[in-house]
Structure 1
Amino acid sequence: MAVVDHAYAQLMSLSDADQDVIANASGTVLLPELYARSGWAALRDADVIPLLVDEIGQLEAAVLNLESYGGHEVALVAGYGLLESFGGRDRNVHPLHRVHGVLAFTGGTADEAATGSATPAPA
């Protein structure tokens, strides 16, 4: 992921923070997971690599830090493009729970989870 690599390089050259802070601020802590997922995607001839909703915050931090540390325009445009494509996904995520032993999406309310009235997730 070029955005994360560029953010890491910029932060390393311009910041006096320790390695752990720079790894978190640049998003490089995501790289091992993303490399593993890219290998999985390549084996399955997939065109995309999944990014979990809670990982989007790390990408956002990398882009914002790139902006603060004078990141290259191409990396910034790519980063903001990625963030825009992920923009609606966190609003479309609902927790899972079990209904008669089957995982189902909660419709977003605690009452549905308690009563078990959610429809099982399609396969």
Structure 2
Amino acid sequence: MVALVETFEYAHAQIAVRSDADDETIAKASGSLLIPALYARAGFAAGRQSDRIPLLVSELGSLEAAVLNLESYGGHEAALCVGYGMLDSLGKREAGTGNLRSVHGILAFADEAADPAQDIVV
């Protein structure tokens, strides 16, 4: 989660400096709109003593957009490596676990679905 939030924050900062787009557009392009939700989910997961933080299926595109926009807006090579590393990891994980599935709109990997109650997010 730390790498994800840092990638979104850095993408936001880079795009804001190099673009004349409005704040909402920059927040969408950088993925930074997701940060409050990610922190809320992390708190919820910690309260349930879980180390899993759900990521909505639609949010994977935000990570990809943030990384691609970082590349376009001159992001630092280290940040790009982290971003592409996360995308690569998700791609490998998908290939290694079989089909992904959506449980209540939340991306679930086959190897993480042992307890259906764990997949419920309120």
Q: Normalized against structure 2, the TM-score is what?
A: 0.70
Residue in structure 2 matched with residue 31 of structure 1 by the alignment: 35
- 1:43 corresponds to which of 17, 32, 47: 47
1:122 Cα offset (Å): 7.0
2:34 is paired with a residue whose SS is helix
Please tell me the residue identity of whatever aligns with 1:92. Answer: N
- Is the Cα contact below 8 Å between 2:57 and 2:102 reproduced in 1? no
1:61 Cα offset (Å): 0.2
Please tell me the residue identity of whatever aligns with 1:19. Answer: D
Residue in structure 1 matched with residue 88 of structure 2 by the alignment: 84
CA distance in 1, matches of 2:38, 2:115: 26
1:89 Cα offset (Å): 3.5
Identity %: 56
Are 1:93 and 2:100 matched, yes or no? yes
1:45 Cα offset (Å): 4.0
Are 1:8 and 2:15 matched, yes or no? no
The 3 A distance-change label for structure 1 pair 70 and 53 is: same
CA distance in 2, matches of 1:122, 1:27: 30
1:51 Cα offset (Å): 1.6
- Is the Cα contact below 8 Å between 1:53 and 1:89 reproduced in 2? no
1 or 2 for the larger relative contact order (CA 8 Å, sep ≥6)? Answer: 2
Q: Normalized against structure 1, the TM-score is what?
A: 0.69
- Is the Cα contact below 8 Å between 1:23 and 1:29 reproduced in 2? yes
- What is the count of residue pairs matched by the alignment? 99
| Structure of greater Rg | 1
The 3 A distance-change label for structure 1 pair 48 and 79 is: farther
Task: Flag as ranges the 4+ runs of structure 1 deviating above 4 A.
Answer: none
- Is the Cα contact below 8 Å between 1:8 and 1:22 reproduced in 2? yes
For structure 2, the 5+ residue unaligned runs are: 104-113, 117-122
